Amino acid sequence: MSYIRTEIHSGDGRDGVGEIILDRPRALNALDQTMIDDMHAILEQWGDDDTIETVLVTSASDRAFCAGGDIRAIREHVLAGETAEVTKYFSSEYRLNQLIAEYPKAYISLIDGPAMGGGLGISVHGEVRIVTEKATIAMPETAIGFIPDVGSTYFLPRLPQGVGMWLGLTGSRIGGMDAVAIGLATHFVPSAELGTVADGIRKGAPLREVLADHRDPVSTDMELKKIAQYFDDDNAVAIVGGLRGAVGDEWAAQMLEQLASASPTSLAVTANLIGEGAVSSLAECLDRELGAAERITAHHDFAEGVRAVLVDKDRNPSFSPATVDEVDLQVAARIAGLR
């Protein structure tokens, strides 16, 4: 069964709009292997179709845009020793991310709900990302013993100072306005008006006309100064040490609490990957992420983290090593593919 639907809109005699509709509501549109394969095939076909000028990606459900990848299925492959299936999944997903980044036509995502992990992989690499106040943006992988991937080690270090490292390590969630303010999204539209915007795009109207009434400046409540102060580093141990030294800073204490719930090994590997991604191309980042994904899913913390967060949902993982200070940084570098 495919959870991808498509529609072709011819508009008012102008070049057509191909719409990809994510339709797996019970799983919050988490991307399984079939969805990834189907989406890649559709985009390749439309890329060569002269009657289609624009691709629009939407969700059939108001519950989510796309909550990420099908991580529980990956865990099952890991536990069964099916390493080839793990590699197939991630290589297919990253190939899709690269295709979107290089897509020859306008690629527009409408995000009116959670877009996390793989959900950012099928949106952030595109030309236009329209969000609403219902959007929730995050890369929460360290909490399950995994790494921020889908090309995030390329786009995270290109956000304002420290922001990418903060998002990648803590898994913090931000809203639509914040996403526009830092560059993860390109436009903000109130949810109640998103249908009108979508219809305008489907009719082939120029985007500047469709969004003409949505030009108000976007502000942010993010602690950008503190993020820059504490997270402008590519060493997880140093970042944690700096937060520990911020006695009396409630925000720093909150960040330490979030980091304490993550896999220490994932934190160290993630810091390495984001640091290296700052001086790498997207293709290089995706290639490095694939190797890291293969290695870190074989680590104890992945199966345990997914169990605690997504399977048993007890939120009480037993990570090993238990603290970032105990992580062998040479091992972390090898997992990241830097040794």
Secondary structure (DSSP) of 52-73? EEEEEEEESSSS-SB--B-HHH
Q: Which residues are CB-neighbours of 47 under 8 A, at least 6 positions away?
A: 103, 104, 105
CA-CA distance, 325 to 339, in Å (whole number)? 20
CA-CA distance, 285 to 288, in Å (whole number)? 5
> If phi over 0 gives left and psi between -120 and 50 gives alpha, with beta otherwise, what is residue 280?
beta
User: In residues, how long is the chain?
Assistant: 339
Q: Is the C-alpha dihedral spanning 314, 318, 322, 327 positive or negative?
A: negative
Q: What amino acid positions are annotated as catalytic residues?
A: 69, 118, 141, 149
DSSP-assigned beta bridge partners for residue 107: 55
Q: Classify each residue of 313-338 as buried b or exposed e, where b means 16 or more C-beta atoms within 10 Å of its C-beta.
A: eeeebebebeebeebebebbebbbbe
